[in-house]
Structure 1
Amino acid sequence: MIRVLVVDDQPVVAEGHSLYVQRVPGFEVVGIELDGAGALRRCADGGVDLVLLDLDMPGMHGLEVARALQAMRQGPDIMVLTASRDVPSIREAVRSGAVHYVIKPFAFATLRAKLLHYASFAAAATGDREVLDQGEIDAALAALRDPAGQQLAKGMSNETMAAIRSAIRAEPDGLSASRAAEIIGASRVTARRYLEHLADTGGCERVPVYGRAGRPEVTYRMRMLS
């Protein structure tokens, strides 16, 4: 059983993540902490294998917590769950030992997949021993990573999704399905399907545009984070 500590300064969010973890076979939640100092004290007591760690917390920032956990003898592994989408934070989290970086908000299926990949890695990398060869190392690391990334619905391609993401980044004020279709060279129906998938999975947000007769037009833009 993999013992998990949930760390998030928002109690409702922390409880939600805890409930998610408890639905995944092979994992148990051993505690919830609302700040970095509490997380370090709990981990120092032992009995924690994996920390689900928020970054933007008052007092001690999550990256400081991650670095302190890395310095801890036989410290736990770290999986970052955060609303921070900036590349420097991602790079620093990786440098600080994060095995995964999951952007809020996310669905249960997303966290479940990351946890199960981690469980496969933990099983392959357990014990104080020497590996047989390079292949054993490669297999352990492959178990940790999901080469397909976030699973798309049937008939959707990673290439088209990448084009849609680029279109949204290029027009931060928002774009319609028609405009997205024009940019990526696809039909409006296709563009809207990808945009809706992104909105449903937290990749962008829907913004209704009023002022015309009939139903308001929906545009899609990068999520505005507080």
Structure 2
Amino acid sequence: MIKVFIVEDDPMVLEVNKGFLERVENFRLVDSATTGEEAMDRLKHLSVDLVLLDYYLPDLPGKEVLTWMRQENLAADVIMITAARDVSTVKEMFRYGVIDYLVKPFRFERFKAALETYRNMWLKLNQVTDLSQEEIDALKPAQPTKGEMTATGLEEIPKGLSEVTLKQIVSVLEKQNVPVKATDIGNQLGMARVTVRRYLDFLVQEGQAEVHIHYGNIGRPSHYYTFKKQPATERSKRPK
């Protein structure tokens, strides 16, 4: 079993990532942290194989956590899962040895492909003492495969989400003429913001919605959502 540690300060994203992780075989979450300092403190006392690391943390950049891990010679691999998409950050993270880089929001297929590729590499490297060139080449990342679909045409809904609630949120979202916050939809449906946010993030990851992140001078960034217009051939796949 591959032991995983998640570093993510957004509670909704953390829950989504945990749910995704549960859907991939041979992985087990051992702990999580919401700040860089907390992550470093816990990783000192844990034996983990893989760290899913966010770049934007409230106290320090994920880069510093990664640098500290390398300095401490921790025997753990790192996959970045972050909204940071500028070229300089991506290049820097690969220079520090991350094995994959997932840009938020991402679909479950991409997450699954990253973990399955890592699992294949981990199993191979823990079963033999020498590798041929062909075996090394086989460790290269594979392309994501299409996920299973529900009756609504969306990928299988994660545990803890209701298809009925999902349809309600889609119905409200697609009627909006301007980007809206989770709070706005929650007020219309009588739901908590955190509940709506989980469904909206799932829709984004499934390609059914888009998120626009607005960064202010202080505090956490604001997330605004819009329904993603589908081609005519795809409209039948939306929840009705």
Alpha carbons of structure 1 residues 132 and 4: separation in structure 2 relative to 1, 3 Å:
closer
Amino acid of the residue matched to residue 100 of structure 2? H
In structure 2, how many angstroms separate the alpha carbons of the residues matched to 1:79 and 1:38?
A: 18
Residue-by-residue CA offset, 1:191-224 (whole Å, 9 max, x unaligned):
xxxxxxx99278897xxxxxxxxxxxx7xxxxxx
- 1:106/1:202 contact within 8 Å kept: no
Matched to 2:40, the amino acid is L
Other structure's SS at 2:89 match:
helix
Amino acid at match of 2:95: R
2:207 to 181, 200, 205: 200
> Aligned pair in 2 of structure 1 residues 204, 48: CA closer, same or farther (>3 Å)?
same
Question: 1:136 is paired with a residue of what secondary structure?
Answer: helix
**What is the root-mean-square deviation of aligned Cα atoms in Å?**
2.9
Deviation of residue 101 (structure 1)?
Answer: 0.2
C-alpha displacement of 1:137: 2.8
* Pairs aligned (count): 158
Q: What are structure 1's unaligned runs of at least 5 residues?
A: 154-197, 206-217, 219-226
Taking structure 2 as the reference length, the TM-score comes to 0.58
Divergent runs of 4+, >6 A = 201-205
Q: Secondary structure at the match of 2:13?
A: helix
1:159-178 alignment to 2 at 5 Å?
none
- Structure 1 length normalisation: TM-score? 0.62
Percent identity between matched residues is 31
User: 8 Å contact 2:109–2:145 — kept in the other structure?
Assistant: no
Give the corresponding residue for 1:166.
none
The DSSP-based 3-state class of the residue aligned with 1:9 is coil
Q: CA deviation at 1:70?
A: 2.0
The 1:87–1:152 alpha-carbon spacing in structure 2 relative to 1, beyond 3 Å, is farther
Structure 2 spans left out of the alignment, 5+ residues? 148-204, 213-228, 230-240
Other-structure match for 1:54: 54
CA distance in 2, matches of 1:23, 1:12: 17
Q: Distance in 1 between matches of 2:70 and 2:60?
A: 15
